[in-house]
Chains A and B, each alone.
Chain A
């Protein structure tokens, strides 16, 4: 029983990441009708926003430390981050410690700007071209973004820590009456799950309860008619692209402490999130979220030793097997709508 709960929890954080990326992908499918292979790259850029903020905050200067002397009797030199000398040592240390949450503030404008530039500069010209061309050009863009990041940050993963308070683990089992140490769950993963829930909720609320969201939903259903009503639907779709990019970026920022950012993390997540979108049903936002969590949790269960003893290596392929079965039995995915991406 404790194993089952543990695996369920383990699946949540991966599922959250899948769901967030798939949500952004589906927003772009549903609104713009574009297959965005560069979405994983946006996720990766988000993670590198966290790295950048960490680097900016730890920029250091060398100052003399009057309390100590080195072996020649001169005042010792220590390197101090600028933030510590500006805001005082305690405040500075706290700022550095909280660099990942702070990176959210940094990432939102950056991601929205990248989304706008991408849509206006590139994707706009591909609405009327076949899906194959859209896949190809965004795939090329993904390679370029990935290589640019590699050129600036190098090929090695860059550790980006969560704040001190969230570093430990939480004994989840004691709370619901299990032995101590039966179900241990890292704090940051809970934070990630809560964060994903908030973002997903916010996107749904935005689409459901604002006029803007209503117009966008109408545009998803019938773009031409909405355009004929005198609404500048193109501009709204550009904004939606920016929002989708921001969702992917934020998913990346918060994922940085779970897995050190490296330049190919986007590509690693991309294939899986496409599978998630297809399983959920193209163009269906609830489907993407549902499938994201479902596949994340399935993957966690498949990596249990008991399961692996029966089907060796099932954890590596479970997602694909499930995806293939679902596409073959329910061609539109779990909650797919009619007529989305069907030639």
Chain B
């Protein structure tokens, strides 16, 4: 159905149901309880981040998962997308569609330029070239193009680009009737509109912005499945397994890799545009190279080269970031309160660096553990767990592929 095989269609349906029911799934605890404070993630801001970063990593996966080109500069496209969307809101009006479209177009052109140059080199050189380009864009956005004193102020420097009451907004209103900034909307439906459903102690929030992002994420996911299963996707896999052999057969691989790079750039731009649509503010820190690193982390955590991996990785990363940063010493004392005082204090001291402001440490450790022991990420982990429980030594295609790739890839000198 929908041009997908049965397996892919089922996967797509699972994702669709997950996205549609996320406000329920992410709200397992009644509102007001302490568990809800900690673990519930069903509020609009966070759910929007889940799907938006999902889009971003799906796009990254089309490049890294299929061609094996490790880009360390994808945050640049995210940033470019955010800036273009905010410019659209400043100049044209608060409807999100032109902003999102422009962010995709600009990020695509940007990716074409960077990809054209970077893809002349492969391997580590490619990673460092993309890193250099991204860092250059960051520096440009941070200082050169954003000097508020000059006439040419594209990014507004370290303050970040924000909406002003004096912006023209030719197709919409510059200010609302009561004199405040208009809000981003989709043909009249404000992005921050929420419908709240109260069932007993539970409070479920259905947010318009989240569902818009969710639908766009589903479309992106569908396109990515089609790319994975297309001859084009096959060609990209061939590039990954042995580019030299492809070149010897007389085939020019460059257009294919460049197309993959541009597509993943457009995905990143789309994610940036959506971030700005949900909260019309764009800053340069979105382009810093550590942000690119975070994209890589999400992809690896989920499982590179698999369809569902990127979504899982993005969700996992954002969810744990949210929870871990909320755990402070007070919460720890509350949880461990049943222990004797000395033991309690000792445990709190040990756990302290890993939570709250130190959640980066946990994420870094987790990331290392995944790379060392579980190169397939969460998807691979799930498969192994499944095999352990159900005991089916069935070799599926992905595994056979991985084995074949291992054999093809001679040991690095």
Residues of A within 8 A of B (CB): 33, 35, 122, 125, 127-133, 135-137, 139-141, 143-144, 146-148, 150-151, 223, 267, 271, 274-275, 278, 282, 312-313, 316-317, 320-321, 323-324, 327-328, 331, 341-343
Residues of A within 8 A of B293 (CB): 139, 143
Q: Mark B175-201, 1 if CB is under 8 A from A, else 0.
A: 000000000000000000000000000
Residues of B within 8 A of A128 (CB): 411-412
Residue ID in chain A nearest B413 by CB atoms: A33
* Interface residues contributed by chain B, number (CB under 8 Å): 49
24 residue pairs bridging A and B, Cβ less than 8 Å apart: A122-B372, A136-B296, A136-B371, A137-B368, A137-B371, A141-B368, A143-B360, A143-B367, A144-B368, A150-B360, A151-B353, A271-B131, A271-B135, A274-B131, A312-B144, A312-B147, A313-B143, A316-B140, A317-B136, A317-B139, A321-B136, A328-B117, A331-B120, A341-B123
Q: Once the chains are docked, how many angstroms separate the CA of A150 from the CA of B353?
A: 9
Number of A-B contacts (CB under 8 A): 122
Q: Which of B109-141 contact A (CB under 8 A)?
A: 117, 120-125, 127-129, 131-133, 135-136, 139-140
B358 within 8 A of A: yes
A140-B371, A143-B363, A316-B139 are known contacts. Are A271 and B132 too (CB-CB below 8 A)?
yes
B289 within 8 A of A: yes
B70 within 8 A of A: yes
In the complex, which of the residues A133, A275, A317 contacts B375, with contact meaning CB atoms closer than 8 Å?
A133
The reply to whether A131 and B124 contact each other, CB–CB distance below 8 Å, is yes
In the complex, which of the residues B117, B132, B243 contacts A275, with contact meaning CB atoms closer than 8 Å?
B132
The reply to whether A278 and B413 contact each other, CB–CB distance below 8 Å, is no
Residues of B within 8 A of A (CB): 68, 70, 72, 117, 120-125, 127-129, 131-133, 135-136, 139-140, 142-145, 147, 150, 243, 289-290, 293, 296-297, 300, 353, 358, 360-361, 363-365, 367-368, 371-372, 375, 409, 411-413
The reply to whether A313 and B367 contact each other, CB–CB distance below 8 Å, is no
Residues of A within 8 A of B375 (CB): 133
Q: Once the chains are docked, how many angstroms separate the CA of A282 from the CA of B127?
A: 14
A136-B296, A151-B361, A328-B120 are known contacts. Are A320 and B133 too (CB-CB below 8 A)?
yes
The reply to whether B412 and A327 contact each other, CB–CB distance below 8 Å, is no
A131-B123, A317-B136 are known contacts. Are A147 and B364 too (CB-CB below 8 A)?
yes
A341-B123, A342-B123, A343-B123 are known contacts. Are A278 and B70 too (CB-CB below 8 A)?
no
The reply to whether B365 and A144 contact each other, CB–CB distance below 8 Å, is yes
Residue ID in chain A nearest B405 by CB atoms: A130
Query: Which 4 pairs show the lowest CB-CB distances between chains A and B?
Result: A313-B144, A143-B364, A147-B361, A140-B368
The reply to whether A135 and B131 contact each other, CB–CB distance below 8 Å, is no
Residues of A within 8 A of B144 (CB): 312-313, 316-317
Q: Which of A140, A143, A148, A223 has the most CB of B within 10 A?
A: A140
The reply to whether B367 and A140 contact each other, CB–CB distance below 8 Å, is yes
The reply to whether B135 and A148 contact each other, CB–CB distance below 8 Å, is no
Q: Once the chains are docked, how many angstroms separate the CA of A312 from the CA of B153?
A: 13
Residues of A within 8 A of B120 (CB): 328, 331
In the complex, which of the residues B128, B136, B358 contacts A147, with contact meaning CB atoms closer than 8 Å?
B358
Residue ID in chain B nearest A131 by CB atoms: B124
**How distant is B206 from chain A, measured CB to nearest CB, in Å?**
36
Residues of B within 8 A of A223 (CB): 413
Residues of B within 8 A of A313 (CB): 139-140, 143-145
Residues of B within 8 A of A342 (CB): 123
Residues of B within 8 A of A316 (CB): 139-140, 142-144
The reply to whether A267 and B290 contact each other, CB–CB distance below 8 Å, is yes
Q: Once the chains are docked, how many angstroms separate the CA of A144 from the CA of B293?
A: 13
Q: Once the chains are docked, how many angstroms separate the CA of A125 from the CA of B373?
A: 11
Q: Once the chains are docked, how many angstroms separate the CA of A128 from the CA of B412?
A: 5
A147-B364, A313-B143 are known contacts. Are A327 and B131 too (CB-CB below 8 A)?
no
Q: Once the chains are docked, how many angstroms separate the CA of A122 from the CA of B289?
A: 24
A320-B132, A341-B123 are known contacts. Are A125 and B372 too (CB-CB below 8 A)?
yes
The reply to whether B129 and A130 contact each other, CB–CB distance below 8 Å, is no
Q: Once the chains are docked, how many angstroms separate the CA of A317 from the CA of B132?
A: 9
The reply to whether B372 and A147 contact each other, CB–CB distance below 8 Å, is no
